[in-house]
């Protein structure tokens, strides 16, 4: 079986367990090991697909159409391999599976209990993924914070795994060592109590990753080691950094990958340290950019940055590819409605309208599109961003004043143009969402085809409405180029304006496919267009001095 590394978190939430798991995966993969990662979430939802972005942040969609936790996006970006629905397990999925079997009579009259039935199902999901991926190392991240009642069945399952496979399971605990400003020192007590919580349920942490604002002295590390019953070398400082992409280097310098290899008895396949040359070059471009531009994200959930996590990271990748810093200006679409596009977008170098659900803020997004089209500002629309771009074009270029969504208003004195139609098809859950990867054929010579350098691509979707083909020809005759269509379904995937400096909108979510070493071509070219606009407006006085280069990804580096 695969060696299993279990990553848990204590003291407070949002310590960066996902980044820690992804960083360890990167380090082990760079040493030649086959690595897979899995997130176990304790909430009772089947998946995060029905959760509000204000509650959960982004829903990360996989190629096979699973709606998953945003940490899976970190796994893909750091380890540079795609995940599937099996890589995210929720308590809701576990209980749903068990109760379905109970109703069918599969348990033959036995009492169904947390132990062994729930814990056995959790372990089965872990072993199944290990076998499917043929991984050497399987990293399992447990959602939530140690001490929460919701995560107890998952932690109990991990305790049993350790008992059953003593030499093949390792526990890495992410904890907090806060700096108390008034006292002028760091405090180890929260970490001690967090490790104590683990011990009380039968788990001894093997390695501690200690989040701290300041470096940990040797005395502090020795104190933590003594009270938490781990070797001093197993207390690794996870000091705050400017970019999440610096974390693998911090952990490597702290000896994390060496410790894991040694403690699990893995064959050290390299006498030299892991080859992080390409990764370090990427980090250098992120932290020391040569240029900068400012792009407005006109969205509906801008107060919750995690709602746009993959978009943020795609801009980091695209910025690095262009040796530039991308400053993101967060603009609520409802503010555009009340204050006007010129006031909020008048000095930006590019405008992006992301996806979203519901009617709130739609008119503000349409106004942002109109501003970008009329003022020749580079525009990039994602999912809903393509739909509002089409509506804006229909209203203000074609002249269909009532062009809107598929919701027909019988009380309207004028015909409401049904530009969007519910054509996605029924999913296995009974909804009408088009989820997962679909192939898209690109028109030769189009902006999209030049960016991709291909005639056909595969991209991930998460939406309900499609552009209504009934009006496609009329829109195209007035200049809206439909440069990408879904293979086999004739659904419009990409629209462009050929007479605009850079105006492109897509029905899919390209941000989900962007990686540090492989930035998404549409994001890359969009940033390039924004840089060209800035240069034309301001000349070349956009160099970022090295003194402030450490702030290169301020908006994009929160773990």
pLDDT, tens digit (0-9, with 9 covering 90-100), for 190-232:
999 999 999 999 999 999 999 999 999 999 999 999 999 999 9
Q: Which of 254-268, 287-301, 392-406, 535-549 comes out lowest in average pLDDT?
A: 535-549
Active site residue 383: yes
pLDDT, tens digit (0-9, with 9 covering 90-100), for 516-559:
999 999 999 999 999 999 999 887 655 554 333 333 334 333 33
Active site residue 486: no
Catalytically annotated residue among 383, 466, 486, 496: 383
In the chain, the percentage of residues whose pLDDT exceeds 70 is: 91
> What span, in angstroms and rounded, lies between the C-alpha atoms of 452 and 500?
19
Average pLDDT (239-258) is 95
Average pLDDT (307-328) is 97
pLDDT, residue 167, reads: 94
User: One fold for both 3-275 and 287-422+466-484+492-551?
Assistant: yes
Which residues make Cβ contacts (< 8 Å) with residue 389, sequence separation at least 6?
353, 369, 379, 381, 495, 503, 505
Active site residue 444: no
pLDDT, residue 189, reads: 96
488 has a pLDDT exceeding 70: yes
Average pLDDT (102-121) is 95
pLDDT, residue 393, reads: 95
Q: Which of 10-14, 267-271, 464-468 comes out lowest in average pLDDT?
A: 267-271
Q: What is the DSSP letter of 446?
A: S
Domain map (residue ranges) of the chain: 3-275, 287-422+466-484+492-551
Catalytically annotated residue among 74, 117, 138, 509: 509
pLDDT, residue 415, reads: 38
Catalytically annotated residue among 58, 76, 496, 511: 511
Can you list the positions of beta strands (E) in 177-252? 179-180, 185-186, 207-212, 235-239
516 within 8 A of 284, measured Cβ to Cβ:
no
| CB atoms near residue 281 (< 10 Å) | 12
Mean pLDDT of all residues in the chain? 90
Tokens read off for 60: 């990360």
Give just the sign of the alpha carbon dihedral 205, 207, 209, 215. Answer: positive
272 has a pLDDT exceeding 90: no
Provide the pLDDT confidence category of residue 247 given band limits of 50, 70 and 90.
very high
Q: Is 350 exposed, middle or buried (0-12, 13-18, 19+ CB in 10 A)?
A: buried
pLDDT, tens digit (0-9, with 9 covering 90-100), for 370-417:
999 999 999 999 999 999 999 999 999 999 888 876 443 444 433 345
Q: Is the pTM here over 0.85, yes or no?
A: yes
| CB atoms near residue 200 (< 10 Å) | 10
Q: Alpha helix (H) ranges present in 31-133?
A: 53-56, 71-79, 91-104, 119-133
Give just the sign of the alpha carbon dihedral 364, 369, 373, 375. Answer: positive
pLDDT, residue 539, reads: 79
pLDDT, tens digit (0-9, with 9 covering 90-100), for 124-151:
999 999 999 999 999 999 999 999 999 9
368 has a pLDDT exceeding 50: yes
430 has a pLDDT exceeding 70: no
Terminal Cα-to-Cα distance of the chain (whole angstroms) = 31
Q: Is 538 exposed, middle or buried (0-12, 13-18, 19+ CB in 10 A)?
A: exposed
pLDDT, residue 552, reads: 35
CA angle, 400 then 401 then 406, to 5°: 75
Q: What is the CATH number of domain 287-422+466-484+492-551?
A: 3.40.50.880
State the pairing for strand pair 434-442/35-41. unpaired
User: Which residues pair with residue 329 across a beta bridge?
Assistant: 296
310 within 8 A of 511, measured Cβ to Cβ:
yes
In CATH terms, 3-275 corresponds, of 3.40.50.12240, 3.40.50.300, 3.40.50.1000, 3.40.50.2300, to 3.40.50.300
Question: If we measure between CA atoms, which residue out of 459, 455, 469 comes closest to residue 512?
Answer: 459
> What span, in angstroms and rounded, lies between the C-alpha atoms of 402 and 382?
23
Average pLDDT (324-341) is 96
| CB atoms near residue 52 (< 10 Å) | 12
């Amino acid at each position: 079986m695969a060696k299993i590394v279990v990553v848990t978190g204590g003291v407070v939430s949002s310590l960066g367990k996902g980044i820690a798991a992804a960083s360890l995966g990167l380090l082990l993969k760079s040493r030649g090991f086959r690595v897979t990662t899995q997130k176990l979430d304790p909430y009772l939802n089947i998946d995060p697909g029905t959760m509000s972005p204000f509650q959960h942040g982004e829903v990360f969609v996989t190629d096979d159409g699973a709606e998953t936790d945003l940490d899976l996006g970190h796994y893909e970006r750091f380890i540079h391999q795609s995940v599937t629905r099996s890589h995210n397990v929720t308590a809701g999925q576990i209980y749903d599976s068990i109760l379905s079997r109970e109703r069918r009579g599969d348990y033959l009259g036995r009492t169904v209990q947390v132990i062994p039935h729930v814990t056995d199902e959790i372990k089965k999901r872990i072993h199944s993924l290990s076998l499917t991926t043929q991984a050497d190392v399987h990293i399992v991240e447990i959602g939530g914070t140690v001490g929460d009642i919701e995560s107890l069945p998952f932690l109990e399952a991990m305790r049993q795994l350790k008992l059953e496979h003593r030499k093949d399971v390792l526990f890495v605990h992410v904890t907090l060592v806060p700096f108390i400003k008034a006292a002028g020192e760091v405090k180890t007590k929260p970490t001690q109590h967090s490790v104590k919580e683990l011990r009380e349920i039968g788990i001894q942490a093997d390695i501690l990753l200690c989040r701290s604002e300041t470096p940990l002295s040797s005395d502090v590390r020795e104190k933590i080691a003594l009270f938490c019953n781990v070797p001093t070398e197993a207390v690794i400082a996870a000091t705050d950094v400017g970019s999440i992409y610096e974390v693998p280097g911090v952990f490597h310098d702290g000896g994390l990958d060496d410790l894991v290899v040694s403690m699990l008895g893995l064959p050290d396949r390299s006498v030299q340290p892991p080859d992080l040359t390409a990764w370090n070059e990427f980090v250098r471009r992120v932290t020391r950019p040569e240029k900068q531009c400012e792009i407005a994200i006109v969205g509906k959930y801008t107060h919750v940055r995690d709602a746009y996590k993959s978009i943020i990271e795609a801009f980091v990748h695209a910025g690095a590819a262009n040796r530039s810093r991308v400053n993101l200006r967060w603009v609520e679409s409802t503010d555009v409605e009340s204050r006007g596009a010129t006031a909020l977008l008048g000095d930006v170098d590019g405008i992006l309208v992301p996806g979203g659900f519901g009617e709130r803020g739609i008119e503000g997004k349409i106004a942002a599109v109109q501003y970008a089209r009329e003022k020749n500002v580079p525009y990039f629309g994602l999912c809903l961003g393509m739909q509002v771009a089409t509506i804006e074009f229909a209203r203000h270029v074609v002249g269909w004043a009532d062009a809107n969504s598929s919701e027909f208003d019988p009380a309207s004195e004028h015909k409401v143009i049904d530009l969007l139609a519910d054509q996605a098809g029924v999913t296995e859950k009974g909804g009408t969402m088009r989820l997962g990867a679909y192939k898209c054929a690109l028109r030769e010579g189009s902006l999209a085809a030049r960016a991709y350098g291909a005639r056909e691509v595969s991209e991930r979707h998460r939406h309900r409405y499609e552009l209504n083909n009934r009006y496609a020809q009329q829109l195209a005759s007035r200049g809206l180029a439909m440069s990408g269509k879904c293979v086999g379904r004739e659904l419009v995937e990409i629209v462009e304006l050929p007479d605009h400096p850079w105006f492109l909108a897509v029905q899919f979510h390209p941000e989900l496919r962007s990686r540090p070493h492989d930035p998404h071509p549409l994001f890359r070219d969009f940033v390039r267009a924004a840089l060209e606009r800035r240069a034309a407006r301001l000349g070349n006085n956009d160099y970022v001095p090295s003194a402030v280069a450490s702030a290169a990804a301020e908006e994009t580096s929160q773990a």
